[in-house]
Structure 1
Amino acid sequence: MNAEKNSSEPLPETPARALGDFIRTHRERLSPLAVGLPPGPRRRTPGLRREEVAQLCGVSPTWYTWIEQGRPVSASADALARIAVALQLSRAERAYLFELAAQRDPAEPDPAAQDVPAALLQTVGLIGAPAYVLDRQWNALRWNAPAAELFVGWLDGEHDRNLLAYTFTSMAARELIVDWETRARRLAAEFRADSIRHLNDPPTRALIDSLTAASDAFARYWASQDVFEREGGERAFQHPVRGRIVFNQITFKPAHREDLKLVILVGSE
């Protein structure tokens, strides 16, 4: 395929096109002198030429051209990292580049290995409604008193704090969650979508394997390959003391720690 021959063909607005536009804009902003190249007497392109960036990145000029043109070609995290260095992107610009490409920056530490922000954990106790924080395997890291009072068999007393294990292996969950089968099926599909980037990490893999062995329902729902975004909305519970209670669930992801979730259940009017 001839990259230059097809360069005039209009491309639809896609994530690949947004990635290409971002890279092209930053290439045009970078002067040859900034990377140690002579400006040259007959330079028609603003900033660096595509061929120059390709050479700095150690990739083929044709492949780099296709990336800028927004064509559906594969861009590995390693190649994107080399582009980020060649274009001298700032930390924020580099993070934006990897977000556009839906890739994890290999230079960034694994969020799961970092300490949970203390302010996030403290926030849970300041919330009057049931609230809790989940990690990437959906273990509850912190919860407040209203959440402990609501989630019988999970956040009260001494129990396994994993939300999936509670939902699929605890009889208390089946009694508490109204329309358990629908909610459990959706929960498995939401976890599949949420865990896609760390599906083969040992803790995630071990959780899936243990739930598959322990719960026929989880095994069926997981095998269905259903994928749903984790969303808010109405959540109904049949509490052993308070009877039927309805909440609206809201989930927040802290900036720079998207592996964590702050879940709040607001009383329904």
Structure 2
Amino acid sequence: MMSFILVSMVSSLTSIDTLGNFLRAQRERLEPDGTMTKVRRRTPGLRREEVAARAGMSAIWYMRIEQGKAEAVSAPTLARIAEALELAPAERAHLFHLAGRSDPVAPPESGRQVPDALRRCVGTFGGPAYVLDRLWNVAAANDDAIALFGDWIGRGENLLRFVFLSDEARGLIDDWPGRAQRLLAEFRLDHGRRSQDADMAALVDTLRTESPECALWWREQQVLDREGGLRRFNHPGRGLLTFDQLTLVPAGNSTLKLVLLFPDQSESMISASTARQSLAS
């Protein structure tokens, strides 16, 4: 127990120190305000007092934060510091990550706009492929995806609504209870990252109200990373289909997910081997 406490304390102190180093580096890269340009400076960038003034906080409090002497910094305070230091979205996200806080002002979402290159990837992929937005609405899908899942995916509807609120999903998805529970646990991770998103909260409320299984599993608080692997579907016209799923997050838009379903090679190899044996006999 003592070793665990010591490790936790070292990790916390390291994080605070890293936060201070980051703030210092960002402060030193900024040019002084115009009214201060005539003052001779021994160090580059803004002074701590100038950052504090920009952020509307005391110079002593900001100094404690930068020196790693402040153990708990609130999210609103971090937001004011981020604005004072003119941080870019990636830098702002890094600041909140170092401080272990959630950003009260979510970065601008790009909505469901899918880059042309990503649409070409979906359209030319040799298997079912689709793109999910931050709410897991389908933002793009190819013909193979429509053939597998149905017309709903081509209309850009919500993946979770299909899984939990449609009878077709229960017949299509092999081991529906296990897959649906896993999917909800993966979605909870996204939900936690955007806990202030009103649209996401409304989606969860609808699912919990209309699906008893979703209500039960949501209360269990299970959280999982997005996972690839085999996916099996009981297609009404083509029988049992097996795919190897890969999910990618495009650079520049972490709210989108590209989902690719590769035909399972192991089953293809078994089928080919069986055919060769039949020919040989």
Q: Would you say 1:99 and 2:94 are equivalent positions? A: yes
The match for 2:132 is: 134
Q: Secondary structure at the match of 1:258?
A: coil
The match for 2:108 is: 109
Q: Would you say 1:74 and 2:70 are equivalent positions? A: no
Q: Percent identity?
A: 45
Shift, 1:154, TM fit: 4.3
Matches within 5 A, 1:34-113: 36=36, 38-39=39-40, 47-70=45-68, 71-76=70-75, 79-89=77-87, 91=88, 94-102=89-97, 103-104=102-103, 106=105, 108-112=107-111
Q: Structure 1, residues 4-31: CA drift from partner, whole Å, max 9, x if none?
A: xxxxx97657555433321112223446
Matches within 5 A, 1:1-269: 16-30=16-30, 36=36, 38-39=39-40, 47-70=45-68, 71-76=70-75, 79-89=77-87, 91=88, 94-102=89-97, 103-104=102-103, 106=105, 108-112=107-111, 115-152=113-150, 154-155=152-153, 161-269=157-265
> Is the CA contact (8 Å cut-off) linking 1:11 and 1:17 kept in structure 2?
no
User: Per the alignment, do residues 21 and 175 of structure 1 end up closer, same or farther by CA in structure 2, a change over 3 Å counting?
Assistant: same
The one-letter amino acid paired with 2:109 is D
> Is the CA contact (8 Å cut-off) linking 1:250 and 1:265 kept in structure 2?
yes
Larger Rg: 2
How far apart, in 2, do the equivalents of 1:66 and 1:234 lie?
51
The match for 1:6 is: none
Q: Secondary structure at the match of 1:101?
A: helix
> Is the CA contact (8 Å cut-off) linking 1:248 and 1:266 kept in structure 2?
yes
Q: CA RMSD for the aligned pairs?
A: 3.3
> Is the CA contact (8 Å cut-off) linking 1:153 and 1:170 kept in structure 2?
no
How far apart, in 2, do the equivalents of 1:142 and 1:212 lie?
26
> Is the CA contact (8 Å cut-off) linking 2:209 and 2:215 kept in structure 1?
yes
* TM score, norm. by length of structure 2: 0.74
How far apart, in 2, do the equivalents of 1:218 and 1:201 lie?
19
> Is the CA contact (8 Å cut-off) linking 2:129 and 2:142 kept in structure 1?
yes
How far apart, in 1, do the equivalents of 2:133 and 2:234 lie?
26
More helix by share: 2
* TM score, norm. by length of structure 1: 0.76
The one-letter amino acid paired with 1:18 is T
Unpaired runs of 5+ in structure 2?
A: 1-8, 266-281
Unpaired runs of 5+ in structure 1?
A: 1-8
How far apart, in 2, do the equivalents of 1:255 and 1:187 lie?
23
> Is the CA contact (8 Å cut-off) linking 1:235 and 1:247 kept in structure 2?
yes
Task: Report how many residues are paired.
Answer: 251
How far apart, in 2, do the equivalents of 1:163 and 1:108 lie?
24
How far apart, in 2, do the equivalents of 1:74 and 1:212 lie?
34
How far apart, in 1, do the equivalents of 2:210 and 2:104 lie?
35
The one-letter amino acid paired with 1:180 is W
How far apart, in 1, do the equivalents of 2:184 and 2:50 lie?
47
The match for 1:4 is: none
